[in-house]
Amino acid sequence: MSQPRHLIVAAALLIVAACGTERPEIVPENGGAVRFKTHEISAESRACAESGPKCARVKLKSIETTGGGSEAARDNIDLYLLHDLVSRMRNLLPEEVGNPINNPEELAAAFLAEHRGFVLAFPDATAEWSVEITASAIASTPTVATIDITEFAYTGGAHPNTRRRLVSFDVQSGQLLGIEDLTTDIDTLTSITERQFRVDQGLGPDDDLEAAGFWFPEGGFTLPDNLGVTADGLIFHWDAYEIAPYSMGPIEVTVPAAELNPIVNQNYW
């Protein structure tokens, strides 16, 4: 007979080894930039301490603003990061379990509870689950803050799922920046990025992208909406499976700021 869900959750809570830690502020050299501190949540099942094969781990590393920029920018960044973390954890749980929970610590416990339920239902399975989500500031200037969010999750299957998301915010307005906010000449930006993409992939200017194994719409290069502003330039990122087979892994293109200067908003470089 299967155990009631509330008993499984209670059992999982008993074996959670969780902690929330705050590290010292990351203070950028320029005082007008947004400042951040890190916050970590770690949890694992008892089998992890016993070196058992049926271990589940959760490691969440996030950041929150502590000063700099405008209040609107800090509020928007903090709200985005919390919503993103909660959404990612919910996606690893059944809707009826994850959707009512808004707290990352409780979602970590629910993840362990789901693993415990799986182990009870399939005692012969080798069921190691893990999730690690990390958010870090890779650029923080008086005009822009760029956050890099990475996710590694494995709940069974042929391979883990990995995702990366780059997001940039205007430090004064708090606006989440998209391509249209950075340039009014998207066609030229696309051409510049495609040229760099082809160089990175060892392709010639006229090589067919589809024949090379890429899955762009109608075979033509297009920009992703996953991009981030850094001191070096503009990073574009595609996760595995987005434009190429899993075997090719994630793909990233960095367009140097010097090439972008004629067509981008200079406030961000």
Q: Is the pLDDT of residue 11 over 90?
A: no
pLDDT band at 22 (very low <50, low <70, confident <90, very high): very low
Mean predicted lDDT score pLDDT of the chain: 88
pLDDT band at 52 (very low <50, low <70, confident <90, very high): low
Q: Is the pLDDT of residue 30 over 70?
A: no
Half-sphere exposure of 138 (CA within 13 A, CB side): 20
> 2 with 13: CB under 8 angstroms?
no
pTM of the full structure: 0.86
Strands 56-67, 129-140: parallel, antiparallel or unpaired by DSSP?
Answer: parallel
Per-residue model confidence (pLDDT) at position 15: 40
Q: Name the residue with higher pLDDT: 131 or 266.
A: 131
Per-residue model confidence (pLDDT) at position 233: 93
Tell me which of 29-33, 171-175, 201-205, 235-239 is least confident.
Answer: 29-33
> What are the DSSP calls for 150-183, one per residue?
EEEEESSSSS-EEEEEEEEEETTT-PBP-HHHHB
| Amino acid identity, position 269 | W
Q: Is the pLDDT of residue 31 over 60?
A: no
pLDDT tens for each residue of 146-164? 999 999 999 987 788 899 9
Angle between helices 104-121 and 5-14 (to 10 degrees): 110
Q: Is the pLDDT of residue 13 over 80?
A: no
Whole-number Å distance between alpha carbons of 252 and 165: 11
With the CA atoms of 77, 80, 81 and 84 taken in that order, what torsion angle do they form, in degrees rounded to the nearest 10? -160
Domains and CATH numbers, the chain: 5-170 (3.30.565.40), 179-268 (3.90.640.20)
- How large is the average pLDDT for residues 184-202? 96
Q: Give the sign of the dihedral formed by CA 230, CA 166, CA 244, CA 211.
A: negative
Whole-number Å distance between alpha carbons of 162 and 41: 19
> Which strand (E) or helix (H) includes residue 229?
strand 227-230
pLDDT tens for each residue of 214-253? 999 877 999 999 999 999 899 999 999 999 999 899 999 9
Q: Give the sign of the dihedral formed by CA 110, CA 113, CA 114, CA 115.
A: positive
**CA neighbor of 99 nearest in space, from 108, 110, 90:** 90
- How large is the average pLDDT for residues 25-54? 78
pLDDT tens for each residue of 86-123? 999 999 999 999 999 999 999 999 999 999 999 999 88
Tell me which of 23-37, 98-112, 132-146, 185-199 is least confident.
Answer: 23-37
Q: Is the pLDDT of residue 47 over 50?
A: yes
